[in-house]
C-alpha cells in the first residue's frame, strides 16, 4: 500500500473525525485517500490559518487530537501562526504539510520550502520524512509527543513522492493516550502542611483548571480562600460563587486587584496559570510578594520563571488538587458551603455603546451559549462585564492574541460539541482577515452566529495609542463597509444593528433558526475607553 494510506488508516484507528485544511498538489495524494476513508470528513477552509484555529479549538473541546493540513511552501507558512497559538494553549494538533519530491530539494522546485526548521520553535516536534517506510512511524511518534506529557502541536512534512511510494503492510501502531501526570507525594504532603498552617491565602487560577473546576472549588471552600482568575480562565468559575473575587490581569476587576495589591494574605496557591503578561498586569510583583507561594502545573517550565516559588508541584491539576483536598480532609478540614452571591451587574442604559450591546445580546441568547472571543476592544468588555451563565462558556485568546482566531475557533468548537450553541464575537478588523470562513460554515451547515462589532477602525490599536501617546493615527480608521450586505451576497443570513432598538429578540431568533451560520453586524463607534483594568493605568503612565 502507499505510505500515505497507512497514515490514513492510523488516523482512523485513532478515531480522528475531521481534518482541516486546503488541498494542493503536494498533499493531493493524502486527499485522494480520503475518498476511501468515510469516517474522516475533510473540512476545506478558505485559508490555512483558519484551519489551524479550527483544529486547535476542536482539540480543546473534544479532548482529542486535532489534525490540519496544508501544501508545501505557502500552505505550510500559513499554518505556522496556528501552530504558535496551539503551543501557547498546550493543544495537541498534528500539522501535516506537503513537500517537494526528495530528489528536487534545493533545485528551486515549485513551492519548495524547508518547513520543519520553521515549525521547531512553535511545536514540540517537527521533522521532514524522506523515506516512505519512515512516514507512519514518524507520524506515530509525533502524535505520541503531541498527546503525552504537556500536550502540544507537532509537525510532519511529507514529500509528495514519499506519500506515493508503496510500503510493506505492517500492524497499525497503537494510538497513544495520555496518562495522568501524578504529583510527588512528598510535595503534596508539604503543600498540605503549609496550607493548613498559614492564617489565610488566596487561589490564583488560570485556564489550566479547565476540566478540574469542581475540584478547585472544593479546595477553595475547604480552605475558605478567595479565588482570582486570569482573563483566559473567564467562564470556568461561576460568577455567583461567594469566593470569587473576579479577574486579575487584562480587563480585570478592581476587587481582584485590591485583594492582590492591598490585602496582606500569607500565602498564594497558583493553579494552572503560566503567569504571563496579560494574566499578571505586566508581571505585578504583588501577586507573590511576602507570601508563601505554591504553584501547581503540568508544565514544569513555568516554575520560577518570573516569580520565585517556595514550593512547585509538577502534576495534572485535577490529580494534584484532589490530592491536596484528601490531605486536608485527613487533618480534619472539611468543605464549607455558603449561599451563592448574587452578582449585581452594571445597569443597562439607553446609550448605544459596546457594554449595552453585549449585555443585551447575552440576555437574549441561550444561557448555555459558548462564546469564542476574538481580538479587539470588545474583548475587554467581554472579560470585564459579561456574565458566566454556564460551564466553560468563554474561549478567550488574549494569551497569543491572533486576530481572526475567534472565527475559526467557533467552527472547531461547534464541531467538537455540536449540541451547544456557539457564538463568535469578532470585529471588523478580524473579519477582514478570516471572515470568509463563514462560507466554510455555510458549506458544511455549521450553525454558528458570528457577531461582528464593526467600528470601521482598529479599535484596540486606536485606544491603546490614544492612552499611550495621546493621539492615534488617522489611518487606524478604515472606510466603513456594510458587512451584513457582504454576508448576504454570500448567501449567509444576516442583519445589521445601528441602534439598541434594532437588537430585538425576533432578529436573533431568526438568525439562530437557520441550518447554517448567520452574521449579526453591530455598526458602532464607541469612543469610551474600554474597561482594560490596570492596563489603562499602565498605558496612561507610559513615558512618565
pLDDT for the residue numbered 401: 82
- pLDDT reading at 250 higher than 80: yes
Domains 3-164 and 185-330 share a fold: yes
Triad 80, 275, 53: Cα angle to 5°: 25
Helical (H) or strand (E) element with 100: none
Could you tell me the three cell numbers for 444?
458544511
Write down the architecture of domain 354-540 according to CATH.
3-Layer(aba) Sandwich (3.40)
Q: What values do phi and psi take at 159, rounded to 5?
A: -55, 145
**Helix (H), strand (E), coil (C) string for 113-141:** CCCHHHHHHHCCEEEECCCHHHHHHHHHH
Q: What values do phi and psi take at 65, rounded to 5?
A: -75, 130
- Average pLDDT rounded to a whole number, residues 347-359: 94
CATH class of 3-164: alpha beta
Pick from 482, 478, 436: which is nearest to 461 by CA? 478
pLDDT in tens, 461-479: 655 656 676 676 676 677 8
Beta strands in 375-457 (DSSP E): 394-396, 422-427, 448-454
Pairing verdict, β 244-247 and 125-128: unpaired
- Alpha-carbon distance 370 to 419, whole Å? 11
- Alpha-carbon distance 531 to 524, whole Å? 17
Could you tell me the three cell numbers for 104?
528536487
Could you tell me the three cell numbers for 115?
518547513
Sign of the CA dihedral running 320, 326, 332, 334 = positive
Task: Report DSSP letters for 16-70, one per residue.
Answer: --EEEE---GGGHHHHHHGGG-TTSEEEE-S-HHHHHHHHHHHHHHHTS-EEEEE
Are 60 and 52 within 8 A, CB to CB?
no
Q: Considering the chain, what is the average pLDDT of its residues?
A: 92
pLDDT for the residue numbered 347: 86
Sign of the CA dihedral running 349, 353, 356, 357 = positive
Range from 59-73, 233-247, 269-283, 458-472 carrying the lowest mean pLDDT = 458-472
Are 311 and 191 within 8 A, CB to CB?
yes
pLDDT in tens, 193-246: 999 999 999 999 999 999 999 999 999 999 999 999 999 999 999 998 999 999
If you count them, how many residues does the chain have? 544
pLDDT in tens, 125-140: 999 999 999 999 999 9
- pLDDT reading at 539 higher than 60: no
Q: Is 342 helix (H, G, I), strand (E, B) or coil?
A: coil
pLDDT for the residue numbered 466: 67
Q: Which residue has the cell 485544511?
A: 21
- pLDDT reading at 540 higher than 60: no
**C-beta atoms surrounding 488 within 10 Å:** 15
Helical (H) or strand (E) element with 193: helix 185-197
pLDDT band at 458 (very low <50, low <70, confident <90, very high): low
CA 390 to chain centre: 17
- Alpha-carbon distance 130 to 133, whole Å? 9
Domain boundaries, the chain: 3-164, 185-330, 354-540
Q: Which residue has the cell 503578561?
A: 277
Q: Is 429 helix (H, G, I), strand (E, B) or coil?
A: helix
- Alpha-carbon distance 117 to 180, whole Å? 31
Q: What is the CATH number of domain 185-330?
A: 3.40.50.1220
- pLDDT reading at 13 higher than 90: yes
- Exposure of 315 by Cβ count < 10 A (0-12 exposed, 13-18 middle, 19+ buried)? buried
- Alpha-carbon distance 86 to 148, whole Å? 15
Could you tell me the three cell numbers for 530?
474600554
pLDDT for the residue numbered 533: 65
Q: Is 98 helix (H, G, I), strand (E, B) or coil?
A: strand
Amino acid at each position: 500500500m502507499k505510505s500515505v494510506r497507512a497514515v490514513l488508516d492510523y488516523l482512523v484507528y485513532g478515531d480522528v473525525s475531521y481534518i482541516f485544511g486546503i488541498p494542493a498538489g503536494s498533499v493531493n495524494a493524502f486527499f485522494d485517500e480520503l475518498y476511501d476513508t468515510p469516517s474522516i470528513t475533510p473540512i476545506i477552509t478558505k485559508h490555512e490559518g483558519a484551519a489551524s484555529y479550527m483544529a486547535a479549538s476542536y482539540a480543546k473541546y473534544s479532548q482529542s487530537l486535532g489534525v490540519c493540513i496544508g501544501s508545501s511552501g505557502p500552505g505550510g507558512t500559513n499554518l505556522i501562526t496556528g501552530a504558535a497559538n496551539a503551543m501557547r494553549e498546550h493543544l495537541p494538533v498534528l500539522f501535516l504539510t506537503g513537500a517537494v519530491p526528495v530528489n528536487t530539494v534545493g533545485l528551486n522546485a515549485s513551492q519548495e520550502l524547508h518547513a520543519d526548521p520553521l515549525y521547531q520553535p512553535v511545536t514540540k516536534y517537527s521533522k521532514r520524512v524522506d523515506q516512505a517506510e519512515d512516514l507512519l512511524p514518524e507520524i506515530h511518534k509525533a502524535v505520541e509527543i503531541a498527546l503525552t506529557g504537556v500536550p502540544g502541536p507537532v509537525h510532519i512534512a511529507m514529500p509528495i513522492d514519499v506519500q506515493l511510494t508503496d510500503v510493506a503492510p505492517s500492524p497499525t501502531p497503537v494510538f497513544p493516550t495520555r496518562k495522568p501526570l501524578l504529583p510527588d507525594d512528598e510535595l503534596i504532603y508539604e503543600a498540605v502542611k503549609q496550607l493548613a498552617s498559614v492564617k489565610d491565602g488566596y487561589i490564583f487560577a488560570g485556564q489550566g483548571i479547565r476540566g478540574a473546576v469542581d475540584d478547585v472549588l472544593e479546595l477553595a471552600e475547604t480552605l475558605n480562600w478567595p479565588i482570582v482568575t486570569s482573563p483566559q480562565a473567564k467562564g470556568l468559575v461561576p460568577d455567583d460563587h461567594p469566593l470569587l473575587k473576579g479577574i486579575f490581569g487584562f480587563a480585570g476587576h478592581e476587587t481582584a486587584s485590591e485583594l492582590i495589591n492591598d490585602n496582606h494574605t500569607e500565602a498564594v496557591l497558583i493553579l494552572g496559570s503560566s503567569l504571563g503578561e496579560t494574566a499578571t498586569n505586566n508581571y505585578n510583583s504583588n501577586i507573590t510578594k511576602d507570601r508563601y507561594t505554591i504553584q501547581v502545573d503540568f508544565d514544569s517550565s513555568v516554575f520560577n520563571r518570573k516569580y520565585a516559588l517556595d514550593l512547585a508541584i509538577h502534576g495534572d491539576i485535577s490529580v494534584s488538587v484532589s490530592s491536596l483536598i484528601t490531605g486536608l480532609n485527613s487533618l480534619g478540614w472539611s468543605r464549607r458551603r455558603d449561599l451563592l452571591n448574587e452578582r449585581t451587574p452594571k445597569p443597562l442604559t439607553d446609550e448605544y455603546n459596546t457594554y449595552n450591546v453585549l449585555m443585551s445580546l447575552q440576555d437574549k441568547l441561550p444561557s448555555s451559549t459558548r462564546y469564542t472571543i476574538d481580538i479587539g476592544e470588545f474583548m475587554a468588555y467581554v472579560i470585564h462585564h459579561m456574565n458566566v451563565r454556564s460551564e466553560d462558556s468563554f474561549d478567550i485568546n488574549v494569551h497569543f492574541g491572533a486576530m481572526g482566531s475567534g472565527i475559526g475557533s467557533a467552527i472547531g468548537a461547534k464541531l467538537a460539541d455540536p449540541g451547544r450553541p456557539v457564538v463568535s464575537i469578532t470585529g471588523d478588523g478580524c473579519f477582514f482577515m478570516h471572515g470568509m470562513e463563514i462560507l466554510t460554515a455555510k458549506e458544511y451547515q455549521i450553525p454558528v452566529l458570528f457577531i461582528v462589532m464593526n467600528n470601521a477602525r482598529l479599535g484596540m490599536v486606536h485606544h491603546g495609542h490614544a492612552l499611550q501617546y495621546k493621539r492615534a493615527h488617522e489611518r487606524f480608521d478604515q472606510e466603513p463597509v456594510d458587512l451584513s450586505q457582504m454576508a448576504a451576497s454570500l448567501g449567509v443570513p444576516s442583519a445589521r444593528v445601528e441602534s439598541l432598538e434594532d437588537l430585538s429578540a425576533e432578529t436573533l431568533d431568526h438568525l439562530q433558526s437557520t441550518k447554517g451560520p448567520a452574521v449579526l453586524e453591530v455598526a458602532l463607534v464607541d469612543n469610551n475607553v474600554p474597561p482594560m483594568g490596570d492596563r489603562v493605568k499602565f498605558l496612561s503612565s507610559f513615558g512618565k
